[in-house]
Each structure stands twice: as structure tokens, then as C-alpha cells.
Amino acid sequence: MTTSFGTATSVVTLNDPMIRLQSFTGLRSLHSVAFPGNVSAFPVPFSTPSLIRAISTSVKPDKTTPEPKRSKVEIFKEQSNFIRYPLSEEILSDAPNINEAATQLIKFHGSYQQYDRDERGTRSYSFMLRTRNPGGKVPNQLYLTMDDLADQFGIGTLRLTTRQTFQLHGVVKKNLKTVMSTIIKNMGSTLGACGDLNRNVLSPAAPLVTKEYLFAQETADNIAALLTPQSGFYYDVWVDGERFMTSEPSEVVKARNDNSHGTNFPDSPEPIYGTQFLPRKFKIAVTVPTDNSVDILTNDIGVVVISDEKGEPQGFNVYVGGGMGRTHRLETTFPCLGVPLGYVPKQDILYAIKAIVATQRDHGRRDDRKFSRTKYLISSWGIGKFRSVVEQYYGKKFEPFHELPEWEFKSYLGWHQQGDGALFCGLHIDSGRVAGKMKKALREVIEKYNLNVRITPNQNIILCDIRSAWRRPITTVLAQAGLLQPRYVDPLNLTAMACPAFPLCPLAITEAERGIPDILKRVRAVFEKVGLKYKDSVVIRITGCPNGCARPYMAELGLVGDGPHSYQIWLGGTPNQTQLATSFMDKVKIQDLENVFEPLFYYWKRKRHLKESFGDFTNRTGFEKLQELVNKWEGPVQAPRYNLKLFADKQTYEAMEELAKLQNKSAHQLAIEVIRTFVAAQQNGRSE
């Protein structure tokens, strides 16, 4: 069998059983890599004197040139027949788990193998499934299906992720094929939700019927379609080769097939990915100016719609190189914000995206996965060289970046007009965990009114296409289950995020989702102790390890697990998600957090400028001064406290306590919030 690879102008056909290629892999030169003769290797898009892309040499081993190091995952991919083997065999075995190679390959199918780390002794294996929902869009049928699957085959909960997808935990291996095929047959997919390829594409979740927002959502859909694997491995494994494909826009098909500048493997079932796919995960977000609900700067590619004076979309600003993951005590790994690459006309966006992906595919490191993300390639090359190489794949120069207004974080919580006569309602879900009464109430409302939903990048949910007459009954049902309007939710909770961490994530070092409710209560108690107002808020994000799934490095206060019951504290992010936080303290035990929180919040209250956020305050003050304040802290000067009796009778107290439990609060805390809200409303009324 022959293997072909080539440029737009030539195709080299090799009949040898083995071929050797020279390629550059980002931070260093990669020497010869051996591939079997039936494997499509890297394409050869262009030739320059300074960059050797691919050279065919003799099959005879070269004793003087050492074989390059490749990660084990690269070998698994190479030997997998496009992500099929040995997964297709492993899922049929009687064992409760799958082997190492299959564990890596199943990620491309949208699943991770896990086990309950709370249990000791024999491991109880299960699988987490993650859906792919570009822009967070979930049809009514799919939501109801996921709700059913969680009860029938999962742990009875659904989790909304920071990339606008569902995660379904606790599926045992014998049920995997049933669950996967059910998702596929009900307008869903898990293909590419994990693994070394393009992940779920973000866009603003708000179903606003405006030209800009509709265009952003359409672009996200097209990018997702462009970068969807084409070789059929997903359907072969889970539905025995039956295809459930929707029609694709002609511009997507045209862009995928175009090889004018050598971006494709011409004879491969995977024209963009080839046998090796990408060096690591790849993340893309699309948004409109000012709307930073998607954390635009944290993605490998960030795309921003640019419109003319009449509001007609004309093209896109493109950022590249964002990414959150890092490794503790390895300073050469780091979180990074995306940087401007340039502007492209709207008709060229798919070609530009493909060119960036091809650059990372061919030049990103494949020897050490800790350094395989796009941000490390750009860090090594510099943005100038990166842009130059991308332009060779793109076939033209990028135009100058357009000036943008200030970014804002938009949660879209509460009731809003869509712009087409219908309403949408954004609901806060603590850590994205849909469970218990909340899960039943959402099911009741979504099923009764036949609603479509959207998942936000902040782990919340939006109910779409609601008639005005439905607003009151929907609000009542949701409130009875603890799904309250944002004015009744603690402001600290509204912007907080946490990853799942224990008990199922194999990478977790300490608690995140299970720990954040108590930590937020403790922060609120510190606020009250130092005299901060209820409306004062801080963006808090917690992860159980340094990989950054909840994007803690963008938080004003980030807690990153760095040991058992211990966190690294990061400070300096901003409420609009445009400033990278910096590591402030290491190894702070969970029981000692107040020793850090109290002085920081106390001096923020006393020394901040007018309307200065906590993140801006910490950046202006500087870490040396902040560390000094923490070290000498002896406690705030106690202000007199007012002893108010809130409950005149037992019946009122018990009713308040029952409602407070739904929000994981005390009756006293909830009563104070209600009183504050009422007083504020009265004051606003007088001021008007």
C-alpha cells in the first residue's frame, strides 16, 4: 500500500515499507521519525531555505542519528487505525476497565476512564462522557435524553462545564455503547469533546436575535464542523458504522477540501488531522466586541466579529496562544493570554483557522506533552515568526488588528428579551452540578414548555424561547427548587467556578467542587468581619490541580490545589477576564485560608480607589506589600455589631430555614440577604 503526502503543486508517493521524515516541532528540531508505510505522515505545504518540512531518506537505519523522543500517546495514535484500535476490542471485554492505549484513545470519542478515589482497595472504574455542543446549544430532545441517561446509567446528576458542554459521570463500561449510541441518536455527539483535536467551540450562550450574535453563533458552528474528524471512527465504534450526520454548509466543505497551500493530507481519511491529529488539545472561542462571557483570551484561537457602522459583520479579529494549563514547580510551564494575530475578512475565516491549526499540527512539540500547546510554540518562536508561518498556510497576509472596545463579563442571568418577541432566562447553577430538586424542576419546565437550552461558559444554564405568559409559572416552579433569580443569590456565588476534582478526577490533588460551598461561606464571613458590603464581590475560581479547567488563573482570587487540603493562591485577575493572575502564596492549608483572606480583604476595603476591583487593587498594591500585610496581620479593629432579632415566631424561622437549605445557607444569612434586597429596592425607588 502506498502513502501519499504533498503540496498544492506536487505529491510524493512512497512505496517503501518505511519512510523517514525530517520535521521541525516547535522548541527544537525533530530528527527522523519512522512511520509504517501505510501511514500518512506530515504534509509538505511549502519549501523555504530556513525550514525543512519533510525529506524522504533511505529505509536503512541511520546509526549516527538517534531516534527522536516521542510521547507514548503519539505512538498510540499512530498504531490506532485512526483512533479505533484497541478501543473497539477493549470495550467488548469483560474487564471493568480498558487498557492504557484505549484509555488515551477513548478521549477522542469524548470520554475519560475514572475511578472513585474515595474508595480504598479494589478500584471501582467508570467513565465520564462529555458532549460537544458548539455555542452551548442543546436541543430539547437532547436535554431530556441526557437527563434520562444520568438517572439510568450515571450517578443521577448532570454537570455543566466551563466549555458549554454536559458531563455525565459514573457510566460503567458495559453500558458505554448504549449511552453513546443513545446520545448520537438523539441529536447529540461526544466526538472531539476530549483528546488531541479541536474541542467544543465556545460562543456567547445568550440567544439574542441580532446580526452580530447570530453571526458569531453561525461561525462557531462552522468552525466546529470544519474541524470535526472525518474518518468515521466514532460511528464505527459506537453505532457500528451507521452515520448520523447533518448537512454541512457548502463553505465548510469547500474550506475543508481546499489544499491550495498545503494544509491537507490529500489521500488521508483525515484531511486536516492525518494519523497523528494535533499535539495536544486545541480550544477555540468566538464572540462579539465587549462580550467576554467566553473568556476569549484563554483559547488557542479567539475570534471576534467585526461589524461596520450599520451592524453588518465584515470580518474577524483573531487572537492566538491562550491557554491555562501548567505544572507545579515547573516554571517553564505557564498560563498565557492570547495575543493579536490580525484581521481576516469574513469569507476567509475558515481558511485562516485551518492555517493556524496546520501550523500547530506540524510544529507543535510531540515529544513532551507538557509543552505541546500552541502557547509554547508561540513562546518559542515569537508572534512574528508564528504569523509568518501561518500566512504561508493561509496564502495571504493578515490585515491589521481592528481596535476593540473594553471587554465586559456578561453572565446573562435572569430574564431578558431575545429580540424576536420571546424571552430567555439565565439560571445560576453552583459549580454546574444539576442534581436533586433542581434537576427535577428543570426537567419539568423544559419538558412541559418544550424549551431548548444553552449552557454558558460559567457553568450556568439558559432556558430559551419562552413566551411572556409562561414567565410567572416557570419562575414559581424554579424558585421552589432553589433556582432563584440572581438578585437572591449571593454575589460571590454568581461568578464563582470550580472543577469537579475529587472523587472522580484522576488528576485532582485536593477538593474543588465539593470544597467551594464552604470556602465561599467563609469568604462571606470574612467580608462581614472586615466590614465589606454584601454587594462587594470577588471572582473566585477553584481547581483541584494546576491544569486549570475552571480557569483559576483569570480569577481575582484563584485557589489551585497543590497538595492534600492545600492550595496555591493566585491574585490579580480582573472581573472582565482580561488580566492574568499571578501566584501569590504556595501550600496554604485549607484551615488557614482566613489568615490570608482577612488582611487582603480588610486592606482592600480601606485602601481601594473608587470602584476599584479586588484584582486591580492587588495589582496596584504589589505582592511585596500584600505579603507584608499578611505576615503582620493581627486582626481588624472590631466595629460594634448590632444584635437584631430577625425571627419573631418559630413558623417564620422554620419556613426560612427550609428555603435557606436549598441554597446551602443558614436561615440567618438568607434573612439578611432578603432584608438587604428590600432596603435597597426601597432606596432605589426613592431616588427615582
Q: Tell me: the pLDDT tens digits for 81-90?
A: 999 999 999 9
How far from 569 is each of 91, 329, 448, 557, 667, CA to CA, in Å? Answer: 41, 14, 45, 7, 31
Largest CA distance in the chain: 91
Q: Is the pLDDT of residue 38 over 50?
A: no
On the 0-12 / 13-18 / 19+ scale of CB atoms within 10 A, 526 is buried
pLDDT value of position 651: 75
| CA atoms of 333 and 553, how far apart (whole Å) | 13
Q: Is the pLDDT of residue 604 over 80?
A: yes
Residue 33 has pLDDT above 50, yes or no: no
Predicted local confidence at residue 667, as pLDDT: 76
Quote the CA–CA distance of 143 and 148 in Å, as a whole number.
9
> Which of helix, strand or coil describes residue 462?
strand
Confidence label for 23 from pLDDT (cuts 50, 70 and 90): very low
What is the structure's pLDDT at 635?
86
DSSP code, position 202: B
In words, the CATH class of domain 414-488 is alpha beta
- CATH topology for 494-632 is Sulfite Reductase Hemoprotein; domain 1 (3.30.413)
341 CB-contact burial (10 Å; exposed 0-12 / middle 13-18 / buried 19+): buried
| Distance from C-alpha of 128 to C-alpha of 112, rounded to nearest angstrom | 5
Residue 682's pLDDT is: 62
Residue 639 backbone phi and psi in degrees, to 5? -85, 155
pLDDT tens digits for range 139-196: 999 999 999 999 999 999 999 999 999 999 999 999 999 999 999 999 999 999 999 9
Angle, in degrees to the nearest 10, between helices 593-607 and 614-621 = 90
In this model, does residue 52 exceed pLDDT 60?
Answer: no
Beta bridge partners of 198: 282
Alpha-carbon distance of 614 to 400, in angstroms, equals 34
The CATH superfamily assigned to 211-394 is Sulfite Reductase Hemoprotein, domain 1 (3.30.413.10)
Percentage of the chain beyond pLDDT 90 is 81
pLDDT digits (tens, 9 = 90+) for 647-672: 667 777 777 778 877 777 777 777 87
What's the rounded mean pLDDT across residues 679-685?
Answer: 59
**211-394 against 414-488: fold identical:** no
Q: Is the pLDDT of residue 56 over 70?
A: no
Name the band, by pLDDT with cuts 50, 70 and 90, for residue 55.
Answer: very low
- Please state which of the ranges 104-113, 491-500, 600-609, 630-639 shows the lowest mean pLDDT: 630-639
Residue 645 has pLDDT above 70, yes or no: no
- Across the chain, mean pLDDT equals 89
Residue 430 DSSP class: G
CA-closest candidate to residue 201, choices 92, 287, 96? 287
Q: Above 50 in pLDDT, residue 349?
A: yes
| Encoded amino acid at 271, one letter | P
pLDDT over 70 percentage in the chain: 87
pLDDT at 5: 31
Q: Is the pLDDT of residue 624 over 80?
A: yes
Q: How confident is the model at residue 12 (pLDDT cuts 50, 70, 90)?
A: very low
Mean pLDDT over 300-317 rounds to: 97
What confidence tens digit (pLDDT) does each residue in 216-270 have?
Answer: 999 999 999 999 999 999 999 999 988 776 789 999 999 999 999 999 999 999 9
What local confidence, expressed as pLDDT, does residue 657 receive? Answer: 77
For 349, counting Cβ atoms within 10 Å of its Cβ (0-12 exposed, 13-18 middle, 19+ buried), the class is buried
Residue 154 in contact with residue 190, Cβ under 8 Å? no
24 pLDDT band, cuts 50/70/90, is: very low
> Selecting from 3.40.50.970, 3.40.720.10, 3.90.480.20, 1.10.150.120, what CATH number does the domain 73-185 have?
3.90.480.20
Residue 348 has pLDDT above 90, yes or no: yes
Banded pLDDT at 676 (limits 50, 70, 90): confident
Q: Say whether pTM exceeds 0.95.
A: no
Mean pLDDT across 351-356: 98
**Cα distance between residue 49 and residue 26, in whole Å:** 17
Question: How would residue 439 be classed by pLDDT, with cut points 50, 70 and 90?
Answer: very high
Which pLDDT score, from 0 to 100, does residue 681 have? Answer: 62
Residue boundaries of the structural domains of the chain: 73-185, 211-394, 414-488, 494-632, 650-684
Q: Is the pLDDT of residue 274 over 80?
A: yes
Residue 470 has what DSSP assignment? G
Looking at 54-58, 76-80, 204-208, 333-337, which range is the least confident one?
A: 54-58
